[in-house]
Amino acid sequence: MEKRATIKDIACEAGVHHATVSRALRGLPSVAQETVRRVKAAAGKLGYEPDPMMHALAVYRSANRETRYRETIAFPRPCMN
């Protein structure tokens, strides 16, 4: 069985960090268009296909994550002139 291409494989091929590959494949605006082009070319060359089960797991985990912060209520003090 042939090994599936991962974002780390694409990162190595494109010469970028694996987080950049993730951002580029998701179409985030923080990635330069030239980098997106290189990443997509490398993904095509390696035959990368997103794993739908891993995507479902990531969505599930982020939806069920407990909020790490609590709201803060501020009480302004009256002016002391």
Q: Degrees (nearest 5) of the Cα angle 14, 7, 53?
A: 155
Mean pLDDT score of the chain: 89
14: left (phi over 0), alpha (psi -120 to 50) or beta: alpha
Per-residue pLDDT tens over the stretch 15-29: 999 999 999 999 999
Please check whether residue 26 lies inside any domain of the structure: yes
Please check whether residue 39 lies inside any domain of the structure: yes
The number of domains in the chain is 1
Q: What is the pLDDT of residue 81?
A: 61
Please check whether residue 80 lies inside any domain of the structure: no
1: confidence class by pLDDT, cuts 50, 70, 90: low
Residue type, 22: S
Which CATH number does the domain housing residue 32 bear?
A: 1.10.260.40
Please check whether residue 43 lies inside any domain of the structure: yes
Please check whether residue 27 lies inside any domain of the structure: yes
Q: For residue 15, what are the domain limits?
A: 7-51
